[in-house]
Structure 1
Amino acid sequence: MTAPAPDTLLAELHKAAAAAASAAGKLTDMDVVAPSTLSGWTRGHVLAHIAGISHAMARQLEYAARGETVELYDGGQDGRNNAINAASGHDAATHREDLQAALDRVLKAFDSVAGPEAPGLAGPGSDPSESGAGKSGVTWQTPIAYRGGVVLDGGLALWRELVIHTSDLGTGPGAEAWSRLFCEHLFDFLAARVPPGDKLVLQPLGLPPVTIGSGGRSVVISGMITDIAAWLAGREPSLGSLRASAAADGVDLPTLLPWPSGVPAAQ
């Protein structure tokens, strides 16, 4: 998977966390019980989820520093859902406090990994002082339980969660404010949503095309890069620029597969 360099990702995490905290800071008690842009979820549900995934990802790194792995959420998907529902009804002040505590915890965990290491350079038996490991001894290639991956995967996941769900609050800019770097990352990560029989040629206006999927039916999706990324992420495109075509004829946008989940359902 193409990914930003660790120092760039770390800066993006801080920027996304600041945006989430700023959005939460503007909400009143009435605001948090109002609907978000996600069907069936209030803004309180969204805030509870952002706090929950931040704590969960911090825990991944904290266990990694001890040479251990732990499931993302206690109780898997059910545990995640129960925690969101339990916290969703908090008042605005409690949401702000909970969110800030979670963001502080997860940024501290990722800041401890910061260093000059490039993804893929650290290996078994390598000296942390030479590989760019942070204060925790964790490198960007240290294994974590999330997706059976490494710390870098956890950082990318947190970036997605913070940026997308801050937009889901519906209190400020939506997907139209997503950066090109973030949109291109979503193209890569969300290629898993392309049905097996399809190949999508993504044509952002004014930018080179990107092909995802390897099926026999080729569909061109053209529009602003943020609209394409929003559609892939299951969100409403903000600028209304999306067009789909196959063999030069206009067609409906393809139906995508579910979002690739890193949380296995509880058995």
Structure 2
Amino acid sequence: MIDHVQDLRSVREATDRLLTAAAKLDNATLAEESRLPGWTRGHVLAHLARNADALVEVFEGRPMYESASSRESDIERDSGRPLLQQLEDVRHSADRWQAVAERPQDWTRTVELRNGVTDAAARVPFRRLIEVELHHVDLNIGYELTDLPDEFTDREIAFLADRWAGRPDVPPVTLRAMPGEVWHTGGTEGTPVVLEGPKAELLGWLAGRGLRGARLAVLTGDGLPELPPL
């Protein structure tokens, strides 16, 4: 069951953790490469701020972004700012998003996100939580997949398993976490694959983070499938 109130609290807590950690950077380290190819840490922080603003647009019934190119250009424009300005932008944009999301509203309504994707309004706070938690990892400042809250990891595995379900370019995959939780993803074509390992490794494969599943045991199948980009 989706609990948007709890998710909004989790977003605020995760944002505070990220800002506290990022405040230990300086302008030089901010300009260094993040774990996302082609993006510096400044790009990651700029994206988080612009994503919060975009979700305000979603909740107020406007397009999430003016266009794909404007989204990219806004991130590029803001990526080179000094650390203090970056942190203030992440904090203030997050506050704007929280203020809009905490208003009384119809949480059962359907909202439109990027690329024509739709979802229940009640799930959007969790989508924002995903952005904050995974991009904290992407900053490469000591916060790892293994540091993510257990509840978040469980939900994100289920969320991404559902995202890849039914994809013809992904074989049928069974994910087994030690000591025994199971998820299913992928399509119906191809040789079935069974992967087993710690939840952080399963999440890394699903989300294209960390070692991307390299440490998972392939119990059956033709090896570790390669997933399309998120």
1:20 to 18, 21, 33: 18
**Equivalent residue number for residue 41 of structure 1:** 39
Which of 142, 151, 159 aligns to 1:189? It is: 159
What's the counterpart of residue 65 of structure 2? 73
Contact 1:199/1:212, CA 8 A, preserved across alignment: yes
Choose from 107, 127, 138 the match for 1:140. 107
Aligned with 2:172 (options 199, 224, 239): 199
d(CA) in 1 for partners of 2:213, 2:206: 15
CA positional deviation for 1:7: 2.7
> Is the radius of gyration larger for structure 1 or structure 2?
1
Runs (5+) with no aligned partner, structure 1: 64-68, 113-133, 260-267
1:176–1:238 Cα contact (<8 Å) kept: no
Matches within 5 A, 1:119-158: 134=104, 138-146=105-113, 147-158=117-128
Whether the aligned pair in 1 keeps the contact of 2:4 and 2:123 (CA below 8 Å) is: no
Q: Do residues 219 (structure 1) and 193 (structure 2) align? A: yes
Quick check: 1:176–1:239 contact (8 Å CA) kept in 2?
no
Cα deviation for residue 239 of structure 1 reads 9.6
Question: Where does residue 210 of structure 2 map in the other structure?
Answer: 236
State how far apart, in whole Å, the 2-side matches of 1:200 and 1:48 are.
35
Is 1:246 the counterpart of 2:216? The answer is no
Kindly indicate whether structure 1 or structure 2 has the higher relative contact order, using CA contacts under 8 Å at least 6 residues apart. Answer: 1
Partner of 2:144: 174
Give the root-mean-square deviation of aligned CA atoms.
2.0
Shift of 1:242: 1.5
TM-score, normalised by the number of residues in structure 1 = 0.77
Q: Which amino acid aligns with 1:139?
A: D
How far apart are the structure 2 equivalents of 1:157 and 1:186? 9
**Post-superposition CA distance 1:163-184 (Å, at most 9, x none):** 1001100002211112232223
Identity, % of aligned pairs?
25
- d(CA) in 1 for partners of 2:79, 2:187: 40
Structure 1 pair 19/239, CA: closer, same or farther in 2 (3 Å)? farther
Q: Secondary structure at the match of 1:222?
A: strand
State which of 58, 61, 76 in structure 2 corresponds to 1:60: 58
The alignment partner of 1:211 has SS state of strand
Secondary structure of the structure 1 residue equivalent to 2:174: strand
Shift of 1:240: 6.5
Give the superposition deviation at 1:162: 0.7
Q: Following the alignment from structure 1 to structure 2, what is the Cα–Cα distance between the partners of residues 35 and 214? A: 35
